[in-house]
Amino acid sequence: MTIIPFAFYLVMVELAVGAFLTMYALDVRNDSAINFFRTQGVIYFFLFSVLAWATQNGFATPHQLQLDGFKLDYSWLNRQPPLLGWFLIAQIPYNVALWFNSRIGRLVFGGITAALGLATLFVDGMGMRPIAAAWGGGFFTVSAFLLGALALGGVSTAMLLGHWYLNTPTASGKPLEFATWLTIGGIALQVVCGLLTGPTTYTHPATTAIAPPPAAASITIDKTLHTQGVISAATVPPSPVGTPSPVGTPTPPKSSVPSGVTFPTPVLILLQYILGLGVPLGLSILALRLERDRSFQSATGMLYIAVVFTFFGEILARGLFLRPLA
């Protein structure tokens, strides 16, 4: 398993939990339209069902990661799939309470679901904790998952709430401002955690090199090398008398397939801070000002762009976190 699919999976878990936490926080405030919560509840349930299905069917499971050599704390990561499943199941009674407009049921079942979501993020952070242990890195690693969920959930819910305001322009702008403030707080604190996490200590296990065959008059190439495309399996007979014997090791043929373009880690870190954190932070602040001026259409446009850059920053951050040290 490569790093990027697993990084994307972690970001989707953050989105699943963060989006529900933001929606539940708005529900607790009780100053948004009930139909908005009903619509979002149904959308989130189906989207998160796909995530739970992918988890249960082996995508990015702790067992596969362990086989691929990721040195993480699997005593914590093994708890994530069942927690994510219960997080999804708990949304069923919450959605029922939404449709029956039961205030007590929404608060109770929503609180249980939020607690299960936070527990899912916590075990993810604890599982990644061994990667960064310097300067309190274990604490900041767990915090980074919670703050990433807050940023993703806040900006996505704010963007969807902004679309809702386009149909109800006379509604109060306070819920939209609240969701935007959650986004700003999550991104700003992510910058602090990123600076205080300290250096990562993650390395892949060393790959065992294949010893070259000895130089001799008779060279026998093992079939293993033949299957790897190094040279055809054959036995070279001894050279006739007076003919020089072959010396050295057969040179593997060079691959004609390009290996691709890679960027040094400092460049990627710079992109993460500028594009993944700085740009969505600035856009969210601009959107907040537009919301206070009741320019909801322009604010929604800013939040649209902020969602894209926030996703980019989170995926890049998780990929860099798991990137092997040179």
Q: Give CA–CA dist 197/202, Å, rounded.
A: 13
pLDDT the model gives residue 124: 87
CB 260: neighbour CB atoms within 10 A? 5
Q: Do residues 125 and 137 touch, judged by C-beta distance below 8 A?
A: no
Q: Assign 3-class secondary structure to the chain.
A: CCHHHHHHHHHHHHHHHHHHHHHHHHHHHCCCCHHHHHHHHHHHHHHHHHHHHHHHCCCCCHHHHHHCCCCCCHHHHCCHHHHHHHHHHHHHHHHHHHHCCCHHHHHHHHHHHHHHHHHHHHHHHHHHHHHCCHHHHHHHHHHHHHHHHHHHHHHHHHHHHHHHHHHCCCCCCHHHHHHHHHHHHHHHHHHHHHHHCCCCCCCCCCCCCCCCCCCCCCCECCHHHHHCCCCCCCECCCCCCCCCCCCCCCCCCCCCCCCCCCCCHHHHHHHHHHHHHHHHHHHHHHHHHHHHCCCHHHHHHHHHHHHHHHHHHHHHHHHHHCCCCC
Q: What is the largest CA-CA distance in the chain?
A: 100
* Residue of 260 and 64 predicted with greater confidence: 64
pLDDT the model gives residue 199: 53
Q: Do residues 152 and 18 touch, judged by C-beta distance below 8 A?
A: yes
Q: Give CA–CA dist 132/154, Å, rounded.
A: 26
* Residue of 267 and 144 predicted with greater confidence: 144
In the block, residue with structure tokens 């986004």: 183
pLDDT the model gives residue 231: 45
Task: Tell me the per-residue pLDDT of 150-191, one tens digit each, with 9 for 90 and over.
Answer: 999 999 999 998 888 877 777 788 999 999 999 999 999 988
pLDDT the model gives residue 72: 75
Q: What is the mean pLDDT of residues 307-322?
A: 83
Q: What is the mean pLDDT of residues 39-53?
A: 84
Q: What is the mean pLDDT of residues 34-63?
A: 77
Q: If you average pLDDT over every residue of the chain, what do you get?
A: 76
Domain residue extents for the chain: 3-203+266-321
Q: Do residues 305 and 284 touch, judged by C-beta distance below 8 A?
A: no
**What's the pTM?**
0.74
- Highest-confidence segment of 118-132, 152-166, 210-224, 310-324: 152-166
Q: What is the mean pLDDT of residues 100-110?
A: 94
CATH number (1.20.1630, 1.10.10, 3.30.70, 1.10.3470) of 3-203+266-321 reads: 1.20.1630
Q: What is the mean pLDDT of residues 256-278?
A: 66
Q: Do residues 298 and 163 touch, judged by C-beta distance below 8 A?
A: no
* Residue of 65 and 282 predicted with greater confidence: 282
CB 214: neighbour CB atoms within 10 A? 8
Q: Which residues lie below 8 Å from residue 265, measured CB to CB, with a gap of 6+?
A: 320, 323, 326
Q: Give CA–CA dist 314/326, Å, rounded.
A: 22
At 2, the pLDDT band (50, 70, 90 cuts) reads: low
Q: Give CA–CA dist 16/195, Å, rounded.
A: 26
Cα 161 to the chain's mean position, in Å? 24
In degrees and rounded to multiples of 5, residue 294 shows phi and psi of: 60, 30
* Residue of 62 and 77 predicted with greater confidence: 77
